[in-house]
């Protein structure tokens, strides 16, 4: 069992998580480490919500609003390429999106709230698994206790390379796109390569399908939409080698669809299924379509955006207001669809390695920036108790 860091150092905590990453839905040790550290602070977390999710309640004795702050802690199937001392010990898995830093930031807030509890209302600190697959938030909301909470304010952040270090990147209404992955299998009939006319090859259908997918955004000219073909394969192999004597009878195409509007993404999904059905009927092919990693669009409350801007300005942080939604997706959207709140970003540096890159590492300085902003938001809504009251 992993032991908590007794003399809490948020940077050491973050780097420890970075060294021992776990993929979505497999975060057992990470969750145990987080829970033990919370216990070390004298807090009593609820665990195993929707898988490995964790929630800590920080209550006051006075009535008031309820605020939820969220961090994620799953990692990605990426082979890390770095030389720093805290490189991943799990080959082929790394924290390439900064979830280790998000978690460390919220852990600082947990320690602060133990020492300086809110004067009114309640604060919930939520540590979420499985963000990368778009399944973690929805799974946690299946827990009856969490689903029945009345939440007035949701706050979450993501680090963002390409923007100045510590800049607060924010936008009301749609902040990040809806997206989904699709896997399409085309099944015909193989034949000898010398007599392809005896089979039913999906070759032309696959090329037509790719063209249909790439042209899909043209059907939705009034909104941002995008289709990216991420993989296409045709034919059979034997022990990984090409079967030169066989005309293909099978093809597979994988793509990602995204839109700034969840309803538009649903319309894109329906149109893809219709086009595949028509195409395969024309070509005499069987087909299977499956959808993976569904993310709704992240929709921010304008009033909560303004709260973040005001508190960021009070801390002297620069503000970067954007006009277009982020193209990537974030499943904090599930919480924001149920309760009002905001997802914002904090710049990781204009030349910092991009998210999901093998040389990415979370900037440790952002831990203090994020936790200070979180605490300022809490104090605005709930006040700040004294250290003696925190025990």
Over residues 157-178, the pLDDT tens digits come to 999 999 999 999 999 999 999 9
**Using 50, 70 and 90 to split pLDDT, how confident is the model at 389?**
very low
Q: What is the pLDDT of residue 388?
A: 45
Q: What is the CATH number of the domain that holds 89?
A: 3.40.630.10
Do the domain assignments include residue 277?
A: yes
Q: What is the pLDDT of residue 243?
A: 82
Measured in degrees and rounded to the nearest 5, phi and psi for residue 17 equal -60, -40
| Spatial CA neighbour of 217 closest among 261, 184, 185, 183 | 261
Q: How many residues does the chain have?
A: 391
Tell me the average pLDDT of the chain: 95
The total of structural domains in the chain comes to 2
Last residue of a domain, one of 264, 295, 326: 295
Burial of 238 (0-12, 13-18, 19+ CB in 10 A): exposed
**Helix segments in the chain, DSSP class H:** 10-19, 28-40, 99-115, 136-140, 144-147, 203-215, 262-283, 302-314, 333-338, 365-382, 387-390
Strands, E, within 161-297: which ranges? 168-170, 173-176, 178-187, 191-192, 225-234, 237-238, 241-242, 246-247, 250-259, 286-295
Name which residue leads in pLDDT, 323 or 239: 323
User: Looking at the structure, do residues 263 and 324 belong to the same domain, yes or no?
Assistant: no
**Helix segments in 234-391, DSSP class H:** 262-283, 302-314, 333-338, 365-382, 387-390
Whether residue 390 has pLDDT greater than 70? no
Whether residue 387 has pLDDT greater than 80? no
User: Looking at the structure, do residues 22 and 149 belong to the same domain, yes or no?
Assistant: yes
Q: What is the pLDDT of residue 6?
A: 58
User: Looking at the structure, do residues 32 and 166 belong to the same domain, yes or no?
Assistant: yes
User: Looking at the structure, do residues 214 and 290 belong to the same domain, yes or no?
Assistant: yes
Q: What is the CATH number of the domain that holds 259?
A: 3.30.70.360
> What proportion of the chain, given as a percentage, has pLDDT over 70?
97
Predicted model pTM:
0.93
User: Looking at the structure, do residues 327 and 316 belong to the same domain, yes or no?
Assistant: yes
Do the domain assignments include residue 76?
A: yes
Do the domain assignments include residue 264?
A: yes
pLDDT tens digits, one per residue of 108-141: 999 999 999 999 999 999 999 999 999 999 999 9
Rounded distance, CA 200 to CA 86, Å?
53
Range of the domain at 188: 178-295
pLDDT tens digits, one per residue of 264-287: 999 999 999 999 999 999 999 999
């Amino acid at each position: 069992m992993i032991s908590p860091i007794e003399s809490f150092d948020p940077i050491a905590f973050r780097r420890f998580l970075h060294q021992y990453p776990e993929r979505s839905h497999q975060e057992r040790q990470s969750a145990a480490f987080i829970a033990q550290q919370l216990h070390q602070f004298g807090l009593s977390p609820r665990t195993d919500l929707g898988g490995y999710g964790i929630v800590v309640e920080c209550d006051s004795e006075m009535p008031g609003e309820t605020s939820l702050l969220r961090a994620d802690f799953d990692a990605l199937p990426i082979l890390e390429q770095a030389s720093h001392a805290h490189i991943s010990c799990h080959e082929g898995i790394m924290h390439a999106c900064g979830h280790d830093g998000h978690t460390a930031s919220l852990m600082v807030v947990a320690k602060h709230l133990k020492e300086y509890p809110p004067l009114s209302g309640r604060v919930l600190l939520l540590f979420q698994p499985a963000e990368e697959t778009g399944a973690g938030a929805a799974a946690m909301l299946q827990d009856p206790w969490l689903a029945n909470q009345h939440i007035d304010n949701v706050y979450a952040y993501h680090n963002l390379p390409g923007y100045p270090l510590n800049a607060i990147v924010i936008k009301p209404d749609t902040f990040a796109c809806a997206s989904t992955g699709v896997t399409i299998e085309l099944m015909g009939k193989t034949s000898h390569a010398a007599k392809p006319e005896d089979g039913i090859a999906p070759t032309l259908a696959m090329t037509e399908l790719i063209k249909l997918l790439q042209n899909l955004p043209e059907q939705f000219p009034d909104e941002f939409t995008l289709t990216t073909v991420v993989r296409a394969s045709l034919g059979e192999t034997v022990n990984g080698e090409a079967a030169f004597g066989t005309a293909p009878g099978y093809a597979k195409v994988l793509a990602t669809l995204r839109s700034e509007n969840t309803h538009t993404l649903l319309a894109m999904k329906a149109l893809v299924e219709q086009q595949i059905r028509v195409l395969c009927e024309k070509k005499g092919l069987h087909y299977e379509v499956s959808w993976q990693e569904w993310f709704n669009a992240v929709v921010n409350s304008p009033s909560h955006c303004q709260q973040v801007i005001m508190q960021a300005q009070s801390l002297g942080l620069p503000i970067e207001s954007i006009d277009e939604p982020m193209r990537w997706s974030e499943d904090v959207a599930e919480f924001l669809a149920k309760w009002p709140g905001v997802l914002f970003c904090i710049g990781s540096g204009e030349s910092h390695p991009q998210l999901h890159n093998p040389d990415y590492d979370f900037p440790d300085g952002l831990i203090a920036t994020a936790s200070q902003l979180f605490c300022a938001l809490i104090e605005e809504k709930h006040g700040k108790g004294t250290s003696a009251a925190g025990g």
